[in-house]
């Protein structure tokens, strides 16, 4: 029987190699299994750190798109797709963004988030279709997520996005010199073979999660969503977030619990407005005006200045 080309392609991928440090893991005691996994996990942040120059480029693309009314789309299959959806879902409660600003698409649709839809990732045309259905425009950024860099669903989405004129990013755990796709920025943390051969939910998934944390967090910081190192655009959608908002105002202003609660109420529940009111000694209306002038940056609003340089 003649073996398909895919067999040889997978055989050569960095993510499909055997790890020499875990060859005996099947007979190891539990403590040693855990130590092997943990030792290999230590390689992940080192690999991600090497990619910071490329992650920086990607953040600049994302911030520019956001400022022009564009959106960020993560596109992946399996673990990669779930990680993209997770990062997108966390943006509204953390940074007060509208749900459509950062979106995650996964091969096989929403059902694939909870149960593997095997085979869905093999259809390149589905990636393009899902982006089209999502209404992607040239103002948007599309970020492909595929540990192996070859996933057809993701490749199809990236090709469609480039045809539209979108800026494109790709996060993969294969070496840059083996990356054949045309994208604006390729982010390639090479974490080495997995403890269990081909199980890219492990080191590769962790690397992708770290990169996604950096992309969305850095972009939101550059949009003025953070003051000092605190979330100040969070949405008070549950009791925990309401109490966190009060504590944030207390920490920044030095007010006690009751006073911070009253200030937040006067600010319409908006943490940024409350902070500017307190530290600049202005009304809620004036605080909102200053925040608008400062493009949402609290430090600049307190000083009654425009936004900091990009």
Among the listed residues 206, 234, 210, 240, the one whose alpha carbon sits nearest the alpha carbon of residue 220: 234
90 catalytic per annotation: yes
Residues facing 231 on adjacent strands? 226
Tokens of 21: 């440090």
Q: Which of 169, 159, 152, 155 is nearest to 70 (CA)?
A: 169
Catalytic residue among 90, 178, 228, 286: 90
**Is 132 known to be catalytic?**
no
Q: What is the DSSP string of the chain?
A: -PPPHHHHHHHH-GGGSPPGGGTTGGGS-HHHHHHHHHHHHTHHHHHHHHTHHHHHHHHHHHHHHHHTT--EEEEESHHHHHHHHHHHHHHHHHH---TTTEEEEETT-THHHHS--TTGGG-HHHHHHHHHHTT--TTSEEEEE-TTS--HHHHHHHHHHHHHT-EEEEE-SS-GGG--S--SEEE-----S-SSTT-TTTHHHHHHHHHHHHHHHHHHHTTT-EETTEE-S----SHHHHHHHHHHHHHHH---HHHHHHHHHHTTT-HHHHHHHHHHT--HHHHHHHHHHTTT-HHHHHTT--PPP-
The pairing of strands 185-187 and 230-231 is: unpaired
Strands 185-187 and 141-145: unpaired
Q: Which of 121, 258, 285, 286 is catalytic?
A: 121
Closest to 18 measured CA to CA, from 146, 174, 195: 195
Catalytically active residues are 90, 121
């Amino acid at each position: 029987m003649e073996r398909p080309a895919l067999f040889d392609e997978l055989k050569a991928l960095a993510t499909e190699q055997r790890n020499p440090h875990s060859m005996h893991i099947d007979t190891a005691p539990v403590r040693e299994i855990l130590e092997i996994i943990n030792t290999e996990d230590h390689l992940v942040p080192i690999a991600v750190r090497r990619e910071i120059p490329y992650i920086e480029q990607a953040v600049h693309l994302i911030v520019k798109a956001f400022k022009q009314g564009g959106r960020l789309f993560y596109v992946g299959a399996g673990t990669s797709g779930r990680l993209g959806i997770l990062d997108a879902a966390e943006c509204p409660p953390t940074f007060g963004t509208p749900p459509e600003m950062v979106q995650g698409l996964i091969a096989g649709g929403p059902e694939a988030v909870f149960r593997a839809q095997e085979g869905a990732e093999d259809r390149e045309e589905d990636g393009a279709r899902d982006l089209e259905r999502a209404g992607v425009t040239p103002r948007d950024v599309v970020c492909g997520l595929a540990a192996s860099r070859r996933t057809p669903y993701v490749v199809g989405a990236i090709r469609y996005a480039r045809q539209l004129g979108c800026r494109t990013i790709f996060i993969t755990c294969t070496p840059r010199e083996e990356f054949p796709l045309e994208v604006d920025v390729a982010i390639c943390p090479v974490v080495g073979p997995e403890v269990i051969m081909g199980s890219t939910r492990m080191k590769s998934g962790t690397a992708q999660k770290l990169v996604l944390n950096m992309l969305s967090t850095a972009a939101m910081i550059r949009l003025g969503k953070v003051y000092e190192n605190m979330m100040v655009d969070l949405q008070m959608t549950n009791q925990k977030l309401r109490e966190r908002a009060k504590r944030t105002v207390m920490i920044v202003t030095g007010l006690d619990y009751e006073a911070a609660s009253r200030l937040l109420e006067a600010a319409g529940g908006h943490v940024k407005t409350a902070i500017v009111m307190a530290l600049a000694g202005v009304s809620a209306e004036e605080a909102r005006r200053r925040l608008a002038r400062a493009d949402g940056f609290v430090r600049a609003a307190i000083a009654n200045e425009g936004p900091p340089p990009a």
